[in-house]
Amino acid sequence: MAEFTGSADIYKELVEDSNENWLYGLVAFAIVEEQRIEWMRHFEECNGRTPDDNDVRNWYKQQPGSVILRAKGTAENALQVYSGEVVDVALDEKRREIEDGIIVAEIRESRKFWPQFGVNFIGGFASAVVFAALLILVAFFVFEDASPTQIGAQLRNNLEEIGNGQN
């Protein structure tokens, strides 16, 4: 088990001599140093003075080897959470870019006046023709009074004429 005498030893263990990513080691180092600062505040509250160099050296010496493992585990969790947040932010930004791109493209397409004018004109003309045809058809039925009783009476007259030999 390695004995630590100061922050330089911890740094060497976590960053310089480590086979892992340097950022991972730096975060773990920061976690160990945060623990040291908390201990220094506690020491000052209990003893009424800040710890001297000898007290700090003794604190490092008293740290078990598992302090490195705990710091690495905490660093790994922190980096995973952070990387998840970074990915979420990147995805949100990309999604916004895509949405803005689609909206801008649609606006550009709608600004092409003459093609849109031609499509709208043809659509309006076709609907006017269909409406006129329906209007003529309705007018024909209304003015010709083609009710079923009228048609039946007309057929009966035609049949009587044929039966009487008038045709």
CB distance 53 to 8 below 8 Å: no
Burial class of residue 80 in the structure, from the number of CB atoms within 10 Å of its CB (0-12 exposed, 13-18 middle, 19+ buried): exposed
Read off the tokens for 117: 């004018």
Closest CA to 21 of 66, 83, 67, 65: 83
Q: Can you give the pTM of this predicted structure?
A: 0.53
The listed range with the strongest mean pLDDT (78-82, 99-103, 144-148) is: 78-82
Residues 104-113 have pLDDT tens digits of 777 777 667 6
**pLDDT digits over 33-70, tens only?**
999 999 999 999 999 999 999 999 998 888 888 888 89
| pLDDT recorded at residue 10 | 86
